[in-house]
A and B are shown apart, each in its own frame.
Chain A
Amino acid sequence: MATYQLNVNGRQREVKVDPSTPLLWVLREELKMTGTKYGCGISACGACTVHVAGIATRSCVVPIALVGDRPIVTIEGIGQDAVGRTVQDAWVEKDVVQCGYCQSGQIMSAVALLKAIPKPTDTNIEESMGGNLCRCATYVRIREAIQSAAQQLK
């Protein structure tokens, strides 16, 4: 067990966990922030995507010991950000979700994409979103929502 000081959604949080614990489980079980999802545990589905120092990161494979003081943003905090809020609104407007379980991760990946490339092409979308699995396969509306958010952010 070790104690870690985390910066999550702009707040300082202290947790006491085994250093090998993935960030995902620290968020879900220590901080009770369950918007970030467990889907595979091997960074193959993207359901656990959060931003670590602004980079879309699969939190299921990042041991807490490696996070350090990098700021973490999760689905619960991304709405505080203009791009994040716009993407969430576009998702609602396009009625993207079905079961919804993967959508936290989809939105976190989409926000990271739009921050890097404000006007993404289809290829950019496929590359950036390529690791986010949606078993309902809501991909058509995910594409539409990203393009819609990009328009809004112009």
Chain B
Amino acid sequence: MRAAIEVKKDLNLNRRSFLRVTTAAAGGLLVSLYLDHPASALESSQAAPAKVYPPDAFVHIRTDGKIVITVNRLEFGQGVQTALPMILADELDADWSQVIAELAPAADVYRDPVFGIQMVGGSGSIAHSYQQYRELGAKTRAMLVATAADRWHLSPDQCRTENSVVYGPANKSIRYSELAKDAARKPVPDKVNLKNPADFRLIGKKVRRLDSRAKCDGSQKFGLDLDLPGMKIALVAHPPVFGARVKSLDDREARSIAGVLDVFEIPLVKGSGVAVVADRFWTAKQARDRLQIDWDLSGIERADSTQLLTSYKELAGKTGNVAVNRGDEKAMDRVAAAHRIVAEYDFPYLAHTPMEPLNTTIRFDGNAAEAWVPSQFQTLDQMAIAEVLGLKPEQVTFHTEFAGGGFGRRAVIDSHVQREAAVIAKRLRGTPVKLVWTREDDVRGGYYRPMHAHRVEIGVGRDGMPAAWRHVIVGQSLVAGTPFAAMMIKNGVDQTTVEGVADTSYDIQNFHVSAHNPTVNVPVLWWRSVGNTHTAFVMETLIDELATRAHVDPISYRRKLLKPDAKKLRAALDLMDEKSAAWRNKLPRGHASGISCHESFNTAVACAVEVSIENKRPRIHRATIALHCGLAVNPLTVESQFQAGVGFGVIQLMAKGAITLKDGRVEQRNFDGYTPAYIADAPVSVEVHIVPSTEAPTGCGEPPVPVISPAVVNALAKLTGKRYRSLPLVTI
């Protein structure tokens, strides 16, 4: 193997350094010494924008002209591996064709500037790192310009930059690659001027993804594809009921299979399981299938989704912990019964089922460890691995691997997959072990979007608008009992349970929202767009129903009800109206249009769909989406997130789009029983329109998801005259 070794000198004594070895895209070996501030230096500065990020931890200008930009987050489809380098490269005036993007390992310097841990979530990648990456690019550029100016005995403002070249007067020019070594000795400027947006060369332009080719020719490596010398594969037999323990184990048959190295009981975050370690995946799976395990279920709550629904509906009849109490609580009493709507909704547990099954590889060497994880939560996963291994987090070298989707499933507060892997790696000291969760483990393994029930009572005014609104939501908390609780539970209400209702963009005067967060023995987790998955469905179907009842066009009704300050959503609604009016006004027989709009994660989305019924299922012929996400950094990716994100949301309507439990056991096991949207289920075409804006960018990963299912059932309601309040949509 041809090895190109470049080592940057550690020039600054108050920085520590760490070695990183990666396989370069061209197949060579790249060894770089990166510079990193001590954690304490970062933690001492409180406010996010005041933090100092050393540019050399983010950008590496190589002598061959390539510019390596480090991405401080996981790439799992959302496109940050292209968009963040675009932002930095734009301010740097880098030659985009020479840019290489790399995912950062776990390190303090790569923490999300707002959340304070290294993570992807809350649609925050661009929103939180836009300013950071602009400044990094501008500072690096300033250091290069200062170096060139020194060489030419000029002042920096006599120089300009373009495509990785500094130009001076009289046709002077010098490439960044020739300046990089000296520029590294320059002090990092405290302040830099950022570009005028009119001068952007990349930001706001449609730029194709950097990872496309590798993902089309099989060369892109995901976490599951990792292969290390001497690596073994581990599978774990998990208990049939969450939290159960191994009572007895007969592993004789499993151990008799050639290639099986070890079988042993391991502690889980709750309960225990049995790990099987083998040379190969297939061997490990054969062995696991042959384990005879007797499980101890004593004292374990056995959840049953049918019974849970009954109890949830009962709870929804009672006021819960109050999230919003606006206006007159007695306003409902003044509305005659004939003018009240009572609507009860229910939503099932949903699994994330990212295409790449969950996995983690760890090698434990006694006083250090190395981990390879497709992780949305590097900081927490690294800490969890360290804790299990008895190490400090910084003793665990943590590589962020490309992930085949995630949707929240790789952002787990208790890091249960990494803990399992660490327990196994600890026993196999010195040997790298890849823990694989099979699809069955994933479907049955918990950490679902929680089941929910809503009960809404609306008093309709003489003008057809809601005069009083009482809303009760029942569902497990995502954060109770975790370090996130202090921040996210207010007045006993998990804010993720009520988001999308409590903060509705509609101007509802007498508005009462409360929630119950019952405890159930089913692990739950944020699922792409979190509470908005169910809250937007309830709000947008009810608003539609109110519009129909008032004989008002659903778009006009929404416009009338939106708060005056819901500017983004109004703009999105207007644009959607304009772009979809032509087709909505001449629908074929048997087709109907459905409307929805919703703002989440500060991005406003309006959606119109054309739906018919084919083979007793909704057929989504098209969707027209308009959205307001502030400045769209990469409009090609934004379009893609929305085109596909609405397809992701269709799982809520699939006949088999539910995880159910009976006697504590999950009833589905794979895509045969839990079936997301395939090509014929998703919208046939999706047109995406972006409201032009220069406002700060907001997220695009989650906001597409909430709008699609209410829009589709609003169209179905026109075709069947029925309202759909129970998901999944088993029959229509």
How far is it, in angstroms, between the C-alpha of A132 and the C-alpha of B682 when the chains are bound? Answer: 13
- A44-B671, A142-B679 provided; 19 other pairs, C-beta below 8 A? A21-B282, A25-B282, A28-B225, A34-B225, A37-B356, A39-B439, A47-B355, A97-B216, A99-B405, A101-B354, A125-B679, A133-B671, A134-B644, A135-B355, A135-B407, A138-B643, A138-B644, A141-B643, A143-B685
- Residues B391-425 near A (CB distance < 8 A): 402-407
| Contact A97 to B215, CB < 8 A, known contacts A21-B282, A25-B281 | yes
- Residues B655-702 near A (CB distance < 8 A): 670-672, 676-680, 682-686
How far is it, in angstroms, between the C-alpha of A42 and the C-alpha of B643 when the chains are bound? Answer: 28
**Contact, CB under 8 Å: B678 / A131:** yes
28 inter-chain pairs at a CB distance below 8 angstroms, sorted by A residue, are A21-B280, A34-B221, A34-B224, A37-B355, A40-B670, A41-B670, A76-B219, A99-B76, A100-B211, A100-B215, A101-B354, A101-B356, A101-B405, A102-B404, A103-B215, A126-B679, A132-B678, A132-B679, A134-B644, A135-B407, A136-B77, A137-B647, A138-B640, A139-B647, A140-B643, A140-B685, A140-B686, A143-B679
How far is it, in angstroms, between the C-alpha of A97 and the C-alpha of B646 when the chains are bound? Answer: 16
**Contact, CB under 8 Å: A44 / B672:** yes
User: Which of A34, A122, A132 is the one whose CB lies under 8 Å from B227?
Assistant: A34
How far is it, in angstroms, between the C-alpha of A37 and the C-alpha of B225 when the chains are bound? Answer: 9
Which residues of the other chain, B, contact A130 by a CB distance below 8 angstroms? 678-680
The interface bits of chain A over 21-32 (1 if a CB of B lies within 8 angstroms of the residue's CB, else 0) are 110010011001
How far is it, in angstroms, between the C-alpha of A140 and the C-alpha of B89 when the chains are bound? Answer: 30
By beta carbon, the residue of chain A nearest B75 is: A99
B348 at interface, CB cutoff 8 A: no
By beta carbon, the residue of chain A nearest B224 is: A38
**Contact, CB under 8 Å: A98 / B640:** yes
Which residues of the other chain, B, contact A17 by a CB distance below 8 angstroms? 282
**Contact, CB under 8 Å: A92 / B216:** yes
How far is it, in angstroms, between the C-alpha of A98 and the C-alpha of B224 when the chains are bound? Answer: 17
A61 at interface, CB cutoff 8 A: no
Closest chain A CB from B235 CB (angstroms): 12
**Contact, CB under 8 Å: A91 / B79:** no
Which residues of the other chain, B, contact A122 by a CB distance below 8 angstroms? 684
> Which among B650, B671, B677 has the greatest number of chain A C-beta atoms within 10 A?
B671
Closest chain A CB from B652 CB (angstroms): 13
Which residues of the other chain, A, contact B682 by a CB distance below 8 angstroms? 137, 139-140
Closest chain A CB from B634 CB (angstroms): 10
How far is it, in angstroms, between the C-alpha of A47 and the C-alpha of B217 when the chains are bound? Answer: 14
| Contact A40 to B209, CB < 8 A, known contacts A95-B640, A135-B354 | no
How far is it, in angstroms, between the C-alpha of A140 and the C-alpha of B215 when the chains are bound? Answer: 18
**Contact, CB under 8 Å: A29 / B684:** no
B631 at interface, CB cutoff 8 A: no
B645 at interface, CB cutoff 8 A: yes
**Contact, CB under 8 Å: B684 / A40:** no
- Residues B280-303 near A (CB distance < 8 A): 280-283, 286
How far is it, in angstroms, between the C-alpha of A39 and the C-alpha of B225 when the chains are bound? Answer: 12
B189 at interface, CB cutoff 8 A: no
User: Which of A1, A88, A99 is the one whose CB lies under 8 Å from B216?
Assistant: A88
**Contact, CB under 8 Å: B644 / A140:** yes
How far is it, in angstroms, between the C-alpha of A33 and the C-alpha of B225 when the chains are bound? Answer: 9
By beta carbon, the residue of chain B nearest A46 is: B678
Closest chain B CB from A146 CB (angstroms): 10
**Contact, CB under 8 Å: B218 / A76:** yes
B78 at interface, CB cutoff 8 A: yes
The interface bits of chain A over 1-22 (1 if a CB of B lies within 8 angstroms of the residue's CB, else 0) are 1000000000000000110111
| Contact A100 to B647, CB < 8 A, known contacts A133-B676, A135-B355 | no
**Contact, CB under 8 Å: A100 / B670:** no
How far is it, in angstroms, between the C-alpha of A35 and the C-alpha of B644 when the chains are bound? Answer: 23
- Residues B635-655 near A (CB distance < 8 A): 636-637, 640-641, 643-648, 650
By beta carbon, the residue of chain A nearest B623 is: A140
**Contact, CB under 8 Å: A42 / B647:** no
- Residues A92-133 near B (CB distance < 8 A): 92, 95-104, 107, 122, 125-126, 129-133
**Contact, CB under 8 Å: B217 / A143:** no
Closest chain B CB from A16 CB (angstroms): 11
B45 at interface, CB cutoff 8 A: no
**Contact, CB under 8 Å: B218 / A75:** yes
- Residues B33-70 near A (CB distance < 8 A): none
Which residues of the other chain, B, contact A29 by a CB distance below 8 angstroms? 280-282
